[in-house]
Structure 1
Amino acid sequence: MPQRRVVTGRSQEPRQRFAEELRLLRAERGVSLRKLAEDVGWDPSQFGKLENGHTLGGPEVVEALDLYYGTPGLLLTLWELAIADPSQFKEQYRRYMRLEAEALSLWHYGGGTVHGLLQAPRYARELLAAGGSSGVELDRQVDARAGRRTVLDKDAAPSFRAILSEAVLRTSMRDAEGWREQLEHLVEMGQRLNVTIQVLPFGRGLHGLMDTAVTFLRMPEGHAVAWAENDLRGELVEEASRVERLHRTYDEVRDLALNPAESLTFIVRMLEEAPCEPST
């Protein structure tokens, strides 16, 4: 008779398990948060938030903790599982998130904001805060948004085409330096082999996606699905005929947009015009 597996009693929820492991490792080392911060080189409050599950932090601090505790790769693996966990997203987005992680290619049109896969950290935080998130919930959503961005960094990453209305690039952030960071990030992403960014300038006329942001996903089985949303609601569209109608409209919008090279030039010009933080 096979031996029964030992049940650790530890959390099976990725985010909680990551925080739990951090607390256990520090307890085994017998150090305070302040001593940990002195040894590793980060603010004590950062480690407190990590151990409470209020934030997941970034890969740099997690790698530093792996080195400090002598757990090569363990914490980074737990962090990757936590940050990619679809349960961090609101219920209506979860199925879409799972499909996004599996897609072979993605096509997007956005008329108001930068797509989540192209958002720099400070842009994501300001956007989510404007939507009403705050405190611990805001930290969680920012972490979840960062997890989404890893889709374009993985091995065999999908190809991604994003068409951005000029309105997206004219709606700057309150944080001037954060806005420059976002524009620089778009330029950097647009130079990747698997990413294509196009800009739809003002003056190209009315079109069928004026009030709708849409993302199409081509799945490994060959079919495509679409996520369409407006100010009030989002919907996962899976019926083939509806996806096809949306895609024809998307193609018409793409034909109106600048080509990729012209679009990058446009974004660089926006970056040159972007305000800088006043010197002190």
Structure 2
Amino acid sequence: MSVNGAGTERRNHTTDGADESCWDEDWDDEYGPVVKATGHQIKLWREAAGLTQTELGDAIGYSLGMVSAVERAKRLPHPEFLAKADEALGAGGKLVALSKDVEKARYPKKVRDLAKLEAQAVELGAYANHNMHGLLQTEEYTRALFEMRRPPYKEEEVERQVAARMARQEILKRRSAPLLTFVQEEVTLRRPLGGRMVLRRQLEHLLEVGQLRNVEIQVMPTNREDHAGMGGQLQLLKLSKGTAVGHWEGQLSSRLISDPREVQILEMRYGIIRAQALTPRESLAFIEKVLGET
């Protein structure tokens, strides 16, 4: 990541599509010590119990390689691993207690960063032009996006990315839920990513989410002759501190925009995009129509 003179952070990843430039594990940040401490604790409890890595693996149903990788902080232990190890080593719940922080570390850092911003948001607005916005995606739709990624992800990375995206949707259920507005291009309602049934369930999900009192979904018809969104998809977050930031995505990169002048431009464009789109009521009726045709 780098920051230019205009207050724009450049990151080598995207979030709502299925792309990123790096395949390596990326928990070497604030969660790095947690992952390392968890592996060290498992090793200490194992040695105190007089067990080898092979013996612990046999006792909890995991391979020697997995136990070794967890202890060396090369693999993240699943909650089931920690629960079984806790019981086998007589840790009295001390290993299980690490599950929550370890689970957070499982999500890619880029997703955690965006989720932190979304957690601070009192208002979020987004325009999506080639797929459903990540906060609106069903799990099936999300999995289809990651499975069609080229070069392909390994299966475990697909599951990791899917779980991370679904975790971000906690914002929809938050007690003090922010105002969420979305403008979706008509083509995103018709493109059958993952197959026709996946699209049908996605459209049904849009109709359900669109009924939430804090959510407004609008559709930008393809036949519009004037369109303020030709610069591509965008996202705006108004934070609880009174500041605002923008987020833009492209091939293999994304930008977190904090310069007030650039944020103002994005706010102007998004306002015009919303004005050019169908109203929320018209949009839900349009989605129902497309669902009937799918």
TM-score with structure 2 setting the length:
0.66
Shift of 1:97: 3.2
What is the CA–CA distance in structure 2 between the aligned matches of 1:119 and 1:193, rounded to whole Å? 18
The corresponding residue for 2:26 is none
Contact 1:161 1:196 in 2 (8 A): yes
What is the CA–CA distance in structure 1 between the aligned matches of 2:274 and 2:141, rounded to whole Å? 25
The corresponding residue for 1:107 is 125
**Aligned letter for 2:144?**
E
The corresponding residue for 1:198 is 218
- Identity in percent: 31
Match of 1:217 among 237, 243, 254: 237
Unpaired segments ≥5 residues, structure 2: 1-30, 42-59, 61-65
Match of 1:117 among 129, 135, 142: 135
**Aligned letter for 2:146?**
L
What is the CA–CA distance in structure 1 between the aligned matches of 2:196 and 2:38, rounded to whole Å? 34
The structure showing larger relative contact order (alpha-carbon pairs under 8 Å, at least 6 residues apart) is: 2
The corresponding residue for 1:240 is 260
Contact 1:108 1:213 in 2 (8 A): yes
2:199 maps to 1:179: yes
Matches within 5 A, 1:133-212: 133-135=152-154, 136-212=156-232
Unpaired segments ≥5 residues, structure 1: 1-10, 22-35, 37-47, 275-280
**Aligned letter for 2:256?**
L
Matches within 5 A, 1:1-280: 81=101, 84-85=104-105, 88-90=108-110, 95-132=113-150, 133-135=152-154, 136-274=156-294
What is the CA–CA distance in structure 1 between the aligned matches of 2:202 and 2:77, rounded to whole Å? 21
Shift of 1:230: 2.8
Shift of 1:54: 8.8
**Aligned letter for 1:134?**
Y
What is the CA–CA distance in structure 2 between the aligned matches of 1:182 and 1:18, rounded to whole Å? 38
Contact 1:84 1:148 in 2 (8 A): no
**Aligned letter for 1:265?**
A
TM-score with structure 1 setting the length:
0.69
Contact 2:35 2:76 in 1 (8 A): no
Q: How many residues align?
A: 243
Give the CA RMSD over aligned residues: 4.1
Shift of 1:153: 1.2
In structure 2, the CA distance between the partners of 1:262 and 1:143, relative to structure 1 (3 Å rule), is same
Shift of 1:155: 1.7
**Aligned letter for 1:130?**
M
What is the CA–CA distance in structure 2 between the aligned matches of 1:78 and 1:185, rounded to whole Å? 34
Contact 1:228 1:236 in 2 (8 A): yes
